[in-house]
Each structure stands twice: as structure tokens, then as C-alpha cells.
A and B are shown apart, each in its own frame.
Chain A
């Protein structure tokens, strides 16, 4: 079954404690990205990657890092989380054909105290 998986699904942490949210896809997609969703602000892109070792900033990259060492994985790293990073996070992937659709993961609800 084609899917994007994220872990953990829920996380409560404290300010400054480094954390990683993993994302993996089984569709051999080149493109992967991270979004955050906040009430009233909709979905905003944090980072994206067009292929292995190729990453770029989205609309709200401050405070986040990513890496793309393997095609299937695209972890999101918060080196020093702050309360304003409390949000619902989604990983997504797609192929690079013109009308390929995006597949989204189930989401990670992060609370930073």
C-alpha cells in the first residue's frame, strides 16, 4: 500500500530539547516536503527536497532543519524547540511527473512547553 508514515504521531516536549520527527515514503518519490498547520493560518511549507541531498527552504523554515540522505526518508529536526513551534506537522511526497499528486502522512501533533 502506498503510504507516507510519520513518527511520532504525538509528542510533548520542553523548550530547548532537540527532537526529530521522522518521515518515510514507500512510493520511490523524488519530492518530499514538510508542512505545518496552525489555526487560521492553514498549511504552510517548511522545507522541501527534490531528491537525495537536495533540500530547500519553504515559507517558514526558521527553527527547523531537514536532511535527505536516502530517497525514502526526510526527517524534520528541531534543534532547540520553542513554544511557537507547537503545531500539527505533515510530511508529504510526490513524483516529479507534471500532474503527480501529493500524498500526505497522518500528521504529528507537537506541543512544546
Chain B
């Protein structure tokens, strides 16, 4: 799996958009970008994933650059409950049996 780079921490005011960047400059053509988050000591939670098109669901939006070397997870209206560690994971679509590789992620702190 391609390596990802994320900032160690970010702050966001409640109600504002949180934009979490991820660099994955060595991504291959068959690798997807996944985002998970982990709220303190809880099990990681899937947020969203994408290949090359931008994606949106009820939790977030994922913007992938045209060259696919970086992406941004957007939480449109952050709340205090969005405070968590966010993990960007790049993973090929043929690795059903292998572990997810969680890096250090970005600790997002949302404050009022």
C-alpha cells in the first residue's frame, strides 16, 4: 500500500468546516483512498472512500486531486463529537485479506 502523510494535529471551531489533508504521492492506479476515524479508545469508524472522483456521504466529503497524489476530507459543520484521530489509508482493491495499515493520523480537536 502507498504511504500516506498527514499533519499530526489540527484545530477547528465548532460549526466550521474541518478540512483534513492527506498526501499519497506514490498511490497506484488500483489503490483507493479510505478515511477512518477513532474517537478516544473506541473502535475505528469508517467515514468514506474514493478512487478518483470526489465522494460525499452523510458524514463527510472526500476531494481527490486530479493527479491523485493528495486528498482532503471535509467535515462540513464540525461538532464537538467530531473530535477524534482521523486516518487516511491507501489500499488496493485486491487486498481483501490483509490488514488495514493505520498510521499516526491527524488528531482533530473541535472546540466551542
Contact = CB atoms under 8 A, between A and B. Distances in A.
Q: Is the interface of B mostly helix, strand, loop or mixed?
A: loop
Interface of A: 4, 31, 33, 35, 42-45, 48, 50, 56, 58-59, 88, 90, 92, 94, 96-107, 109
A6 B44 CA distance: 14
A58 B41 contact: no
A101 B41 CA distance: 20
8 contacts: A42-B103, A44-B99, A58-B99, A102-B44, A102-B46, A102-B100, A105-B43, A107-B43
B99 A98 contact: no
A33 B43 CA distance: 13
A98 B93 contact: yes
Nearest to A95: B96
B42 A31 contact: no
